[in-house]
Chains A and B, each alone.
Chain A
Amino acid sequence: MSPDTISRFVSEIQREHPGMLYTEDGGRILLKLGGVEFPRGCVPAVTEALVVLDATQPKPRLLVKHKPKTPGSVDPRNVNPEAIAGDSWFGFSYNIAWDESRHTARQFVEGAMRRFAKDE
């Protein structure tokens, strides 16, 4: 990700989530977001989320504080805890055709969270 994209991304996220918390750790920018909604039907309905912006990586990453049950009460596959800056977050895989020159931060967060709409 280019410095310009990271800068734009941080500003967009801050507009969407005014309570966003920011830190830098090990050359990465970390953004903590409260009240991020899982897709309808998931339990819990909302979670804290972490965005990792790393200039050496092609796209941002989103991790969540809670591992939800999907709308069909399924324990989602391939959702594992990771230690980031001394805290534990759940990493998960999601399929977004990310284009850093085109996509907004909002599209990224919503697109990633849609993974939990699937009962698998």
Chain B
Amino acid sequence: MNNLQIRIPKGVGQRLFKEVIRHGPREPVVFGLVTHASTATKEIVLVRDIRIPPEDAYLPSLGHGARWSGRYMIDLLNEATATRCGLLIFHFHGGSAVRMSSDDSESARQLLPKFQVIVPNRPHGSVVLGTHSVAGAILLPRTDRLETAFSMRQFDKRILDWPMPIASKKERQLFERQPLVRGRLTAAAISASRVAVVGQSGGGTHVSLQLAQHGFGEIWGVDDDYVDQGNRFSGIGFGEKDAAAGKRKVTVLRRAISRIAPRVRYVGLKARVPEQVAIDALKQADVIVGCVNNLHARADLQEIASRYCIPYVDIGLILPTDQASPEEFPPVRAISGNIFTYVPGDVCMWCTGFLSEEKLAGETLGRGRPYLQTKHGADAHVLSFNGVLASQAVNDVVNLVVGYVGETGPIAYRKYDGFKGSLIPCDVKRSEKCMMCSRNSAAGDAIWGTRIISQLSTVA
């Protein structure tokens, strides 16, 4: 696996593929407006949106490739400049081992440096798509070298990676029809995945241990807390001696996982979201699972997931009591939980109102983020309730990686009723008016510069 990857959110990818495979008088092209992000292990090119040239933008062409008008190109470059995006040119050849034609390579060599002059701080590229393969050339910012080794990740009913591993027809059929059977492709997809689990307490311990038992290649546990006599009943695997010794939660989990799955790499991060060390780690994950106890941390995780196109599975459990009751121990009204599974480009927690500015303000009594207090829940026997949510969260992670759900695709939002023991799917849809989706989806890293570009147009 190389360390340069193109990521295409759900919806954007579907429109792109529909257009590039369209039969017409010429080979259709699609332009991607892209941002990018740098992590310790990967350069990521993020497709924020696409532009489909209208018929009258095309010029007659002698070769097999498409040509388009200068006017269309100028409009597109103006949009790229205004939105601080690079340009990727996509077209489709088909086949399982696609390659750039000599025309494609020559046109990339000519066009991409010109794009770079106009938008120097973002990547530009030319990408040819096959059935399960991808090829092309990408020019990263501040370089003059065309990168030809890269992969592509599209978010659809599951995470689709190109190129697909080389496999026999039988292996491919087994993976497509019975992905939970531990065939070579299933095992490869799971062992190649790095999952970050934020919060290593009630839900997070279940999640990390189950992921390890499944054989996920890397698990990055994020938690800065210690095991003590009060919280040891909430996390599976926390022992009496761990509490007596005051061991860190991530230390206990690393030990447990090294025993049950020695080939799984568990990295314990003694940090809290959104500390820098946590953000830097999360940007490198293939999937994030959030087992946190406040909405501000959820908002941070949702933003990281949206910006860098990383699926995010969120779980939470509360035991609300009757606030109006004068009793010292008011009765528990419900055992309520949620599982929210965000697929990049699809419905987010802000779209549904699960997160809102009012709810965040409520969490700090309207005094703002500096006043957010670290919550420590009352010790309660909720380990097994968290286990229900965590198991479904792990199901969702497995589904994101191998896609066992099939045609209906994953469920974004489920409510849990601990009294009834039921998990109820809720019908939620992406809101076209969601400000957070439009701001953050595939936004990548910010571009910092000394030039002040367009402050008034943005503010007005």
Q: Which residues of A contact B (CB under 8 A)?
A: 3, 6-7, 10, 14, 19-27, 29-30, 32, 53, 55, 78-83, 85-88, 91-93
Asked if B458 and A29 make an inter-chain contact with CB atoms under 8 angstroms apart, the answer reads yes
Min C-beta distance of A60 to chain B, whole Å:
12
Contacts of B370 in A (CB 8 A): 78-80, 91-93
Contacts of B440 in A (CB 8 A): 26
Asked if B369 and A82 make an inter-chain contact with CB atoms under 8 angstroms apart, the answer reads yes
Provide a sorted-by-A list of 11 A–B residue pairs whose CB atoms are within 8 angstroms.
Answer: A19-B450, A20-B450, A21-B448, A21-B450, A24-B454, A27-B439, A80-B371, A83-B300, A86-B37, A86-B446, A93-B368
- Given the known inter-chain contacts A83-B304, A85-B446, A86-B445, please indicate yes or no for A24 contacting B453, CB distance below 8 A: yes
Quick check: is B449 within 8 A (CB to CB) of the other chain?
Answer: yes
Quick check: is B237 within 8 A (CB to CB) of the other chain?
Answer: no
Min C-beta distance of A47 to chain B, whole Å:
13
A22, A78, A88: which contacts B279 (Cβ < 8 A)? A88
Complex CA–CA separation, A96 to B446 (angstroms): 29
Residue count of chain B within 8 Å CB distance of chain A? 40
Which residue of chain B has its CB nearest to the CB of A115? Answer: B370
Asked if A10 and B452 make an inter-chain contact with CB atoms under 8 angstroms apart, the answer reads yes
Q: Which of B202-255 contact A (CB under 8 A)?
A: none
Asked if A88 and B446 make an inter-chain contact with CB atoms under 8 angstroms apart, the answer reads no
Asked if B455 and A23 make an inter-chain contact with CB atoms under 8 angstroms apart, the answer reads no
- Given the known inter-chain contacts A88-B275, A93-B367, please indicate yes or no for A25 contacting B443, CB distance below 8 A: yes
Asked if B451 and A23 make an inter-chain contact with CB atoms under 8 angstroms apart, the answer reads no
Asked if A14 and B279 make an inter-chain contact with CB atoms under 8 angstroms apart, the answer reads no
Count A/B pairs, Cβ under 8 Å: 94
- Given the known inter-chain contacts A80-B370, A80-B372, A88-B279, please indicate yes or no for A27 contacting B453, CB distance below 8 A: no
Asked if A88 and B276 make an inter-chain contact with CB atoms under 8 angstroms apart, the answer reads yes
Contacts of A21 in B (CB 8 A): 448-450
Min C-beta distance of A67 to chain B, whole Å:
10
Asked if A32 and B274 make an inter-chain contact with CB atoms under 8 angstroms apart, the answer reads no
Q: Which of B340-383 contact A (CB under 8 A)?
A: 367-372
Asked if A32 and B303 make an inter-chain contact with CB atoms under 8 angstroms apart, the answer reads no
Which residue of chain A has its CB nearest to the CB of B279? Answer: A88
Complex CA–CA separation, A32 to B448 (angstroms): 8
Complex CA–CA separation, A20 to B449 (angstroms): 8
Quick check: is B307 within 8 A (CB to CB) of the other chain?
Answer: yes
Contacts of A26 in B (CB 8 A): 439-440, 443
- What 9 pairs between A and B have smallest CB-CB spacing? A83-B274, A26-B439, A88-B276, A85-B446, A21-B448, A3-B459, A23-B446, A78-B370, A83-B300
Min C-beta distance of A57 to chain B, whole Å:
11
Min C-beta distance of B459 to chain A, whole Å:
4
Asked if B371 and A78 make an inter-chain contact with CB atoms under 8 angstroms apart, the answer reads yes
Asked if B274 and A30 make an inter-chain contact with CB atoms under 8 angstroms apart, the answer reads no
B84, B279, B368, B369: which contacts A86 (Cβ < 8 A)? B279
B300, B307, B445, B458: which contacts A24 (Cβ < 8 A)? B458
Asked if B449 and A91 make an inter-chain contact with CB atoms under 8 angstroms apart, the answer reads no
Complex CA–CA separation, A35 to B34 (angstroms): 33
Complex CA–CA separation, A55 to B371 (angstroms): 23
Min C-beta distance of A46 to chain B, whole Å:
18
A3, A19, A85, A92: which contacts B456 (Cβ < 8 A)? A3
Quick check: is B460 within 8 A (CB to CB) of the other chain?
Answer: yes
- Given the known inter-chain contacts A6-B459, A91-B370, please indicate yes or no for A82 contacting B274, CB distance below 8 A: yes
Contacts of A30 in B (CB 8 A): 446
Contacts of A85 in B (CB 8 A): 445-446
Complex CA–CA separation, A33 to B450 (angstroms): 11
- Given the known inter-chain contacts A22-B449, A23-B449, A78-B371, please indicate yes or no for A86 contacting B455, CB distance below 8 A: no
Min C-beta distance of B271 to chain A, whole Å:
10
Quick check: is B194 within 8 A (CB to CB) of the other chain?
Answer: no
- Given the known inter-chain contacts A82-B274, A88-B274, A91-B370, please indicate yes or no for A24 contacting B455, CB distance below 8 A: yes
